[in-house]
Amino acid sequence: MSKIRVLLVDDNDLLTMAMQETVDLEDDMECVGCLDRADTLPETVAEKTPQVVLLDLQMPGRDSLTAMQEVVAAKPEVRFIVCSGYADGELVDRAVSLGAWGFVMKNGDIDAMLNAIRRVAAGEMSLPG
């Protein structure tokens, strides 16, 4: 069985390192790379070929949702899970309308994040509530 290839995009280095270690400890997934901003997201996705991208919404540089939309248009097989510190319905709806398959809270349960990665990789939406 091949592993779920995950790309992490978040400007919080400590959080990214923790998520990378967590993903790599799972038997069914591997972290294929980390970015601290969305500026080079399309190029990195083309190079690293992730199945799932965990994408922080608020980072310096290029707008995360705009970069996600560009990747989704070019590579619709890549699935995005948006991470945020808050989840208002309008924000979740906007992310989904632009191509996100999932939405997780940054301060949420790590098992919820791992479950979201598995669900999205399997072709299911993973949204709050």
- Give the chain's domains with CATH numbers: 4-121 (3.40.50.2300)
Q: How far apart are the first and last CA of the chain?
A: 31
Helix or strand or coil: residue 30? Answer: strand
Angle (CA) 31-37-41 rounded to 5° is: 65
Q: Is pLDDT of 129 > 80?
A: no
Mean pLDDT of 59-75: 94
What confidence tens digit (pLDDT) does each residue in 17-40 have?
A: 999 999 999 999 999 999 999 999
What confidence tens digit (pLDDT) does each residue in 78-96 have?
A: 999 999 877 777 888 889 9
Could you give the strand order of the β-sheet that contains 4-9, starting from the edge strand earlier in sequence?
29-35, 4-9, 52-56, 79-84, 100-105
Helix or strand or coil: residue 129? Answer: coil
Q: Can you state the angle between helices 64-74 and 41-48, rounded to 10 degrees?
A: 40
Burial label, 129 (beta-carbon count in 10 A; 0-12, 13-18, 19+): exposed
